[in-house]
Amino acid sequence: MTNDTMITVQQTARPHGFPTPGHFAFVESPVPSPGPGTALVENLQWSVDPYHREAMDSDELWTLNAPMEGRTLGRVLDSRTPSLRPGDLVLHRKGWRTHSLVAPDEVRPVPDFGPGVPLAAHLSLLGGTGLSAYVGLTRIARLEPGEDLFVSAAAGGVGTAAGRLARLLGAGRLVGSAGSARKVAYLTEEVGFDAAFDYHDGPVTELLAKAAPEGVDAVLEGVGGEHLEAAIASLRDHGRIAWVGAVGQYHSLSAPPPAPRNLFDLVGKSIRLEGFLVRNHMDALEELYDLAVPHLRSGALPLDVTVVEGFGHIVDAFLGMLRGENLGKMLVTA
């Protein structure tokens, strides 16, 4: 690739089950010039997220043989709008490409929080990933100080952010599930979970009951299926479930997993189950900044990120994230 070449990743076919590199193509074209009211951005960091797998199945979300979408951080190279100046750092959703043409209403400036807050924070703890965790904990599950919390898929981006933020919010006992012994150790030794288990080691309901024998007050759930059933079983009366995803069914070749067999326990235990989309809660971003930024600056709040270097490896990073190879948020850097 030269300085005059743009590379765009495009999806070429709908997957049946787990996607492969063959479902993607790297397409070269000349770097475009901005038209009136737009700016050219050179992308520096890309987020690959579990929801991208769901988008691969949707004609409405991702059109075949067209540029894909994703959260991205970049620097303005050239501009024909006064609100975006060369050198400005911006966040936008025209990812999976080396360069993007953006309008002012398609970007957010990257806040300058000073030393201690690296750029990677804006696509992880301070980005959509961390905001999903924050909204799930505070607005949906309404976690109160001293309450016990279960987080499924806790070693991923949202899960690690939830663990870190729950501690700042004064949570009581933190319990998480993960997909390997390595991840379980990371949760308890690095992130601050009191207990964690590998969901491959047995029925999730039994594993959670052992890790939280007295139950929990709130759940941040992102897997679905057996994990959701276990969450319902473990919750105390008047518990709350913030449902942020269902990664356990994204690769299903047939029907999704059956509904939890104990779903009616929501009634008997007065449990509230609420799903949410983080894009409907962007007004909470300043609240997240107020909570997290001082601790990032002081060094008390580490970032949980796995970084893959080189845009040419973005598909590998995405597939690796789906296989669970990352600890924390998976990011790609130029």
CB-based contact 102:80 (threshold 8 Å): no
What would the mean pLDDT of 106-116 be, rounded to a whole number?
94
Q: What element of type H or E holds 164?
A: helix 157-168
Query: What pLDDT is attached to residue 245?
Result: 83
Q: Would you state the pLDDT for residue 253?
A: 46
- 101 and 132 in a single domain? The answer is no
For residue 286, the surrounding DSSP H or E stretch is helix 285-298
- Could you give the 3-state DSSP secondary structure of residue 65? coil
User: What does the pLDDT read at residue 259?
Assistant: 76
Are residues 229 and 161 part of one domain?
yes
What angle do the packed helices 128-135 and 157-168 form, to 10 degrees?
50
Same domain, 136 and 266: yes
Phi and psi of 38, rounded to 5°?
-130, 170
Same domain, 179 and 268: yes
Whole-number percent of the chain with pLDDT over 70 = 96
- Tell me whether residue 143 is in a domain: yes
Residue 90 near residue 102 (C-beta atoms within 8 A): yes
Q: What is the mean pLDDT of residues 178-194?
A: 97
328 in the same domain as 249:
no
Mean pLDDT of 306-325: 96
Q: For residues 168 and 165, what is the distance between their CA atoms, to the nearest angstrom?
A: 5
Tell me what the mean pLDDT of segment 296-317 comes to: 97
Token look-up 């997290």 returns: 292
Q: What is the pTM of this model?
A: 0.94
Considering the domain boundaries, does residue 294 fall inside one?
Answer: no
C-alpha span between 195 and 295 (Å, rounded): 24
The string of DSSP codes covering 25-56 is EEEEEEPPPP-TT-EEEEEEEEE--THHHHHT
d(CA 154, CA 171): 15
In 167-304, which ranges are E strands?
A: 174-178, 195-198, 216-221, 235-243, 272-275
CATH number at residue 231: 3.40.50.720
Sign of the four-CA dihedral 277, 280, 283, 285: positive
- How many C-beta neighbours within 10 Å does residue 312 have? 14
What is the mean pLDDT of the segment spanning 118-147?
97
**Do residues 48 and 189 share a domain?**
no
Task: Evaluate whether 305 touches 152 at the Cβ level (below 8 Å).
Answer: no
Task: Identify whether 267 is part of a domain.
Answer: yes
Residues 155 and 256 in one domain: yes
The pLDDT of residue 313 is above 90: yes
Structural domain includes residue 298? no
Residue 150 predicted with pLDDT over 70: yes
Is it the case that residue 1 has pLDDT exceeding 90? no
Q: How many domains does the chain have?
A: 2
In degrees rounded to 5, what are phi and psi of residue 75? -120, 135
Query: What pLDDT, on the 0 to 100 scale, is given for residue 250?
Result: 60
Mean pLDDT of 317-333: 96
Alpha helices, DSSP H, located in 31-124: 51-55
Q: 308 and 196 in one domain?
A: no
Residue 148 maps to a domain: yes
CATH number at residue 45: 3.90.180.10
Exposure of 111 by Cβ count < 10 A (0-12 exposed, 13-18 middle, 19+ buried)? Answer: middle
Co-location of 103 and 66 in the same domain: yes
Q: Binning pLDDT at 50, 70 and 90, where does residue 246 land?
A: confident
Query: Does residue 255 share a domain with residue 178?
Result: yes
Per-chain mean pLDDT for the chain: 95
**Residue 200 and residue 83 share a domain:** no
- Its domain, for residue 307, covers 5-113+303-333
Tokens of 159: 């899960």
Tens of pLDDT, residue by residue over 249-297, are: 665 545 566 778 999 999 999 999 999 999 999 999 999 999 999 999 9
pLDDT tens digits for range 12-53:
999 988 999 999 999 999 999 999 999 999 999 999 998 899
Whether 287 is covered by a domain: the verdict is: no
Domain assignment present for 188: yes
Q: What is the distance between the alpha carbons of residues 213 and 194, in angstroms, rounded to a whole number? A: 13
213 within a domain of the structure (yes/no): yes
150 shares a domain with 97? no
Separation CA 170–CA 262 (nearest Å): 30
